[in-house]
Amino acid sequence: MNQPESPRLLMPMPDVQSAADHRELAIDHVGIRGLRYPLPIADRDGVQTTIADCSVFVALPADRKGTHMSRLVELLEERAMPGASPVAVDTLPALLDALVARLDAPAGRLELAFPFFVRKSAPVSGIASLLDYQVRLVGEIASGRHTVTVTVAVPVTSLCPSSKELADYGAHNQRSEVTMSVRPRAHYFIADLVRVAEEEASAELFGILKRADEKFVTERAYDNPRFVEDLVRGVAARLRDDPRVEAFAVEAENFESIHNHSAYARIARGL
* Chain-centre distance for alpha carbon 151: 4
Distance CA 131, CA 57 (A): 31
Q: Which band of pLDDT confidence, cut at 50, 70 and 90, is reported for residue 186? A: confident
Kindly tell me if the per-residue pLDDT of 5 is higher than 80. Answer: no
Confidence bin at 14 (pLDDT 50/70/90): low
**What pLDDT score does 269 carry?**
96
Please report the pLDDT score of residue 219 as a whole number: 95
HSE-up of 25 (CA within 13 Å, CB side)?
Answer: 4
- Residue type, position 20, single letter: A
Tell the burial category of 146 from Cβ atoms under 10 Å away from its Cβ (0-12, 13-18, 19+).
Answer: middle
* For helices 92-103 and 69-80, angle between their N-to-C axes, nearest 10 degrees: 140
Q: Which residue has the higher pLDDT, 14 or 142?
A: 142
**Helix, coil or strand: residue 5:** coil
- The stretches of 81-152 forming alpha helices (DSSP H) are 92-103
Q: What is the DSSP string of 54-74?
A: EEEEEEE-TTB----HHHHHH
Is domain 27-269 in CATH 3.20.20.80, yes or no? no
Annotated domain spans of the chain: 27-269
Residue 204: helix, strand or coil by DSSP? strand
One-letter amino acid for residue 147 of the chain: T
Q: Does 93 score more than 90 pLDDT?
A: yes
Pair 165, 221: CB distance under 8 Å: no
Question: Is pLDDT at 148 greater than 80 in this prediction?
Answer: yes
Alpha helices in 2-111 (DSSP H): 7-10, 69-80, 92-103
The mean pLDDT value for 29-49 works out to 95
Are 206 and 157 in contact, with CB atoms under 8 Å apart?
no
> By three-state DSSP, how is residue 50 classified?
strand
Burial class (CB in 10 A: 0-12, 13-18, 19+), 259: exposed
- 193-240 per-position pLDDT tens digit: 999 999 999 999 999 999 999 999 999 999 999 999 999 999 999 999
* Confidence bin at 13 (pLDDT 50/70/90): low
Burial status of residue 94 (CB atoms within 10 A of its CB: 0-12, 13-18, 19 or more) = middle
Please report, for residues 76, 177, 226, 250, 265, the alpha-carbon distance to residue 253 in angstroms, rounded to integers and kept in the order given. Answer: 34, 5, 12, 10, 7
Higher pLDDT, 22 or 106: 106
The pLDDT of residue 114 is above 70: yes
Mean pLDDT (the chain) is 92
Instruction: Please determine, for residue 17, whether its predicted confidence score (pLDDT) is greater than 70.
Output: no
In this predicted structure, what is the pLDDT of residue 18?
60
